[in-house]
């Protein structure tokens, strides 16, 4: 009844975080301020939940377009940017999907579900991207679609503008620049949007992971085609109402992002003083660390009540690596304190 290749894979595993300080999923640690919370609750209670949601969301697209300096017909809204990645993999021309490795795992997972081949190229040991080699791989493999997460997950680094521009200028297929961590980075590549270059963004890392709202910005003709594989009513009424409300108060979330960036720098400096640990430069809301025994440190942190992500795989570029999301200052202090005991 079920395809054998589906039967042979595992479901995406979300670990149980109950009772733990949750620093594993790149969420914003700050809850919604009380004043906004009550207004938001009132707004949601007035929703016409008996009706289907607005299917085309012209007003929400207009609001997002206005923020991003594009036109409303250049915006496609998804149930998280994951859903847009799926739409792209459904609709793109036949041919492999090109990704650097390591990168965000969903590009490859969704490609597999859709039986699309994946062509990957290893990053260098310092997680930099050889743009020329990436382009050669894309040409050799006849890739029709490529994903570049800028900054990259799980490495946290932002590949230089010139390298990404070189790929944008020379790739023959559709290039998707995924700026999920854009709010924490020093640069945006939004200006690279072109006939075959799209940008992905999400509300998730900014303090609204529970909403599931992501969007793509691109050429209007491309957005129109992708819209054909968007499920009707993909964004529920409560999310639509919430997104409009949060856009009215976006400065609250942007300020929180600035706090997170300052905390990231504080943590990086403090961890950088420890001998038995390597901290990689990050422009995202997390840090990638390398330790001698990642599994022991991960388990030890869990025992101490802190959940992070263990990325260790022997012989891989991520050997010995752990990823920790930036939390509140108190959570970060708890993490650093516990980590020092374990390495």
Q: Which residues would be at the binding site for ligand PLP (CB under 6 A)?
A: 26, 80-82, 104, 149, 153, 178, 180, 202, 204, 214
Nearer to ligand PLP, 100 or 320 (CB): 100
Q: Are 156 and 281 contacting, i.e. CB atoms less than 8 angstroms apart?
A: yes
Smallest distance, ligand PLP to C-beta of residue 152, A: 7
Smallest distance, ligand PLP to C-beta of residue 331, A: 19
Smallest distance, ligand PLP to C-beta of residue 45, A: 26
Nearer to ligand PLP, 168 or 338 (CB): 168
Nearer to ligand PLP, 81 or 332 (CB): 81
H-helix or E-strand containing 250? helix 250-272
Q: Are 205 and 283 contacting, i.e. CB atoms less than 8 angstroms apart?
A: no
Nearer to ligand PLP, 80 or 100 (CB): 80
Please name the residue ranges forming H helices in 30-146: 34-45, 58-68, 81-91, 105-113, 131-141
Q: Is the dihedral of CA 196, 209, 117, 146 positive or negative?
A: positive
Nearer to ligand PLP, 129 or 338 (CB): 129
Q: Are 185 and 283 contacting, i.e. CB atoms less than 8 angstroms apart?
A: yes
Smallest distance, ligand PLP to C-beta of residue 222, A: 19
- Judge residue 49's burial from the number of C-beta atoms within 10 Å of its C-beta, 0-12 exposed, 13-18 middle, 19 or more buried: exposed
Smallest distance, ligand PLP to C-beta of residue 243, A: 12
């Amino acid at each position: 009844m079920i395809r054998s290749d589906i039967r042979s894979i595992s479901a995406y595993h979300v670990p149980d975080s109950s009772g733990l300080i949750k620093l594993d999923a790149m969420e914003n640690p700050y809850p919604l301020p009380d004043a906004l919370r009550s207004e938001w609750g009132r707004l949601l209670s007035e929703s016409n939940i008996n009706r289907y949601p607005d299917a085309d969301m012209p007003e929400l697209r207009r609001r997002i377009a206005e923020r991003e300096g594009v036109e409303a017909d250049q915006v496609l809204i998804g149930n998280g940017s994951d859903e847009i990645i799926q739409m792209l993999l459904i609709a793109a021309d036949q041919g492999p999907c090109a990704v650097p490795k390591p990168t965000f795992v969903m590009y490859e997972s969704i490609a597999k579900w859709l039986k699309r081949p994946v062509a990957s190229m290893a990053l260098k040991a310092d997680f930099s991207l050889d743009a020329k080699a990436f382009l050669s791989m894309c040409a050799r493999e006849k890739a029709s679609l490529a994903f570049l997460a800028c900054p990259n997950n799980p490495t946290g680094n932002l590949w230089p503008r010139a390298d990404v521009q070189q790929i944008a200028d020379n790739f023959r297929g559709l290039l998707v620049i995924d700026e999920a961590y854009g709010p924490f980075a020093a640069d945006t590549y939004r200006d690279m949007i072109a006939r075959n270059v799209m940008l992905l963004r999400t509300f998730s890392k900014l303090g609204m992971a529970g909403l599931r709202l992501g969007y793509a910005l691109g050429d209007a003709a491309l957005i129109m085609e992708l819209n054909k594989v968007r499920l009707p009513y993909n964004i529920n009424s409560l999310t639509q109402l919430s997104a409009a409300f949060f856009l009215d108060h976006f400065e609250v979330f942007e300020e929180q992002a600035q706090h997170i960036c300052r905390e990231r720098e504080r943590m990086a400096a403090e961890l950088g003083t420890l001998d038995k640990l390597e901290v990689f430069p990050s422009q995202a809301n997390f840090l990638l660390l390398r330790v001698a025994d990642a599994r022991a440190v991960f388990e030890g942190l869990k025992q101490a009540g802190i959940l992070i992500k263990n990325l260790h795989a022997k012989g891989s570029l991520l050997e010995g690596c752990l990823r920790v999301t930036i939390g509140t200052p108190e959570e970060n202090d708890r993490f650093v304190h516990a980590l020092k005991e374990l390495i």
